[in-house]
Every structure is written in structure tokens, then in C-alpha cells.
Amino acid sequence: MTVSLPRPIPPKPPRLWDKTVTLAHGSGGRAMQDLIDALFVRQFQEKTPASLEDQARIPLAEMTAQGDRLAFTTDSFVVDPLFFPGGDIGALAVNGTVNDLVVSGAIPRYLTCAMILEEGLPMATLLQVVASMAAAAKQAGVAIVTGDTKVVPRGSADKLFINTAGIGVMRTGVTPAATHLQPGDVVLVNGPIGNHGGAILVARGELALETDLQSDCQPLNGLVDRIVSVCPEVRAMRDATRGGLATVLNEFADSAQVGIQLLEDQLPVDEAVQGLCELLGLDPLYLANEGKLVVVVPPEKAQAVLSAMRSHPTGAHSCMIGQVTDGHWVSLKTAFGSERIIDRLVDDQLPRIC
């Protein structure tokens, strides 16, 4: 006689009963496991290994098929406020790490996610941030494969900090670096500068301003794909985050011991950013960006690269903004024909923007 055993009832997905983060969520016990299972695994599980260990195990064959070297980066995000027009700390963490990989010429593949949570953080806020990270990772085509969670007592942090690390594969034959710049090379950027810094400033609510200004937070891997497809010998690429365009160009000039001259009438600045800067005495050249790419290419490839950039949604407003020179500093040629030095900032115009 055959006896049919009842099928086991699958366990219900874990629920988060607490409305806010408590110290128990960082204790390593049941509350912490429920937080991980109900929040992080459920959002990231599409590409997360089924067996959750203390590390991710990545097949090397898949990576070596795409390139010949490994690119590895890490970053931390402490932006205030957590949510701002055009993005939030979750999307920022994913896109910022992805972009740090792609400007080296790498194909981004895997991310880690470590969170430091303050006791009392609303669980709904955490859920919104994690969902945003999952959506940003999907858009960028990367997998969040491992992470960590820590909870600190109330007052020991500012709501939520995120640390990420990223792994990518370097394309064979693509080696952009600031030291490669040569006089005559052309400098390009993929759109208006300063939008992220301006959006954060307005979002803090310290100014009685109304504007539709939004952060440019976005992944740049699709744009870089277009660039290297027409110019694998691209001299250098960098995402202009903290310190803005001016800081990136000063780093380029110092590394290659060259000068860079910008043309004021070619710099793309949205009217809202320009107005904000004039009102507060800021310079858009130093405002942060989170989706702007500075590219330096040989002069004979400049037009082809510009066309390729404009063919991608994140580069539709790309333009040439200057040229590498024999000098030893970054300068701006004004609309009046004069020239001023664009030096590094002594202090940050706006702290905690990423």
C-alpha cells in the first residue's frame, strides 16, 4: 500500500513587524535575519545566489570572457537629505559605484552593499531606499551579491549611511588614464553641469526657493559603451562628482603635466543652476554631478565621439568644452576674450552631497 505524505507547506515570506529600526536588527539574531530576508534578499534576490554565505562566489569564466583585467572600487554615501529631486541615497550608491568602474573602461558586473542604520530609522524609509537600489542595479545591469548591516544607537549616525564596492571587467585594449593626455586633445562633457549639487541645496529646504531642478543621478555604462566603440584609444574619462568639473580637470592637468583651456560660451549650464549660483555666489564649475562624464579624446576622433555620445539618451546634450594645451594650469576663456585660472577649491562649496 502506498502512503502519500502531505506536501510541506512553504514558509510564508518573513515580515517586518517593527515600524522602525531597533538595535535588535543589528544583533545577529532573529530580528536581524528577518530584516535581511524580508528586505534585502527579497529586493536583490533576482541575481543573488540561493545559498546566502558570508561572501559572494563569482564564476571567473564569465568575467574572463569579457576582458583581461579586474577593476575594483569602493565608495561611501552620506548624502543629506536621503531623498532629493531626481534620486535618493540608494540610487546614488549604485550609480556612483557603477560610474567609478565605467570611467576606467570597465564593464561593471557586481556590487556589494553595506548599510549603517541609526536606531529609530523608519522601516518604510529603509524599504524605499533598498527598492531604489534594486531598480538602479537592474537599470545598470549589475547584481548586488553580498552585503552587511550594522545598527548604531540613536544619535550615533544621521539616519542611514551606505558603503558599496564594485567589481568590473576591463575591456581588452581600453586603458583610459589621466596621464595619457596630450596637447591638442579635445575635452567633452555629456550635458549640463552642477544639477546634482543644485538639487541637493534646494532639497535641504534652507532657502525659500521653488525650482524644478533635478539631480542628474544616472548610470553611465551605456554611454561609455558608445564612446569606446568608436574610440577605444580614449585618453581619459572621469565622472565629475565632488568638486565638479573644475576638480576633475585639475586632476587631469596635474597627472599629465599639461594645461586645459575651457571655453565659457561652450559650457553647458542649465538656467536654474546658473540662477542659483548667481544668487548664492557659487560657481557651477565646482558643483557636484552624479551623471556627468568628462571625456578627453584625440582631436581626430572628437567629432566621431561627440556623435556617438549624442546618440545615447544620457549623452543627448553632449558638447565640446575645451582643449588640452602646453600650459600648466586649467583656465577659462571668457566671452569677453579674457582668461581666468580655474584652481582647486580650498573648501567645499556644499558638503555631504553624495
The CATH number that applies at residue 241 is 3.90.650.10
Residue 274 in any domain: the answer is yes
Last residue of a domain, one of 128, 150, 170: 170
Q: Which of 86, 92, 74 is nearest to 129 (CA)?
A: 92
What is the count of structural domains for the chain? 2
Specify the pTM: 0.92
Task: Give me the CATH number covering residue 101.
Answer: 3.30.1330.10
Rounded-to-integer distance, Cα 304 and Cα 24, Å: 56
Domain identity same for 182 and 321: yes
Burial label for 152, CB within 10 Å (0-12, 13-18, 19+), is: middle
Write out the three cell numbers for 16: 517586518
Segments in 182-239 forming alpha helices (H):
195-203, 221-230
Domain identity same for 165 and 187: no
> pLDDT for 265-284, tens place per residue?
999 999 999 999 999 999 99
Domain identity same for 214 and 99: no
**Side chain identity at 243, as an amino acid letter?**
G
Residue 10 in any domain: the answer is no
pLDDT cut 70: percent of the chain above it = 94
Last residue of a domain, one of 170, 186, 214: 170
Residue 50 in any domain: the answer is yes
94 vs 5 pLDDT, higher one: 94
Domain identity same for 188 and 337: yes
Last residue of a domain, one of 170, 196, 229: 170
Highest mean pLDDT among 46-60, 163-177, 339-353: 163-177
Lowest mean pLDDT among 58-72, 159-173, 315-329: 58-72
Is pLDDT of 341 > 90?
Answer: yes
CB within 8 Å of 184: residues ≥ 6 apart: 298, 299, 323, 324
Q: Which range marks the domain in which residue 117 is found?
A: 23-170
Q: What was the pLDDT predicted at 126?
A: 97
Residue 13 in any domain: the answer is no
**Averaged pLDDT score across all residues of the chain:** 92
Domain identity same for 77 and 221: no
Domain identity same for 189 and 325: yes
Write out the three cell numbers for 166: 564594485
The full DSSP string for 31-67 is HHHHHIIIIIIHHHGGGS-SS--SS----HHHHHTT-
Residue 186 in any domain: the answer is yes
> pLDDT for 199-232, tens place per residue?
999 999 877 778 899 999 999 999 999 999 999 9
> pLDDT for 44-67, tens place per residue?
976 544 567 888 989 889 888 999
Q: What was the pLDDT predicted at 268?
A: 98
Domain identity same for 185 and 309: yes
Segments in 178-257 forming alpha helices (H):
195-203, 221-230, 244-256
Lowest mean pLDDT among 37-41, 82-86, 233-237, 239-243: 37-41
Write out the three cell numbers for 262: 575651457
Domain identity same for 47 and 85: yes
Residue 16 in any domain: the answer is no
User: Counting runs of H as helices and runs of E as strands, what totals does the chain give?
Assistant: 10, 13
Q: What was the pLDDT predicted at 104?
A: 96
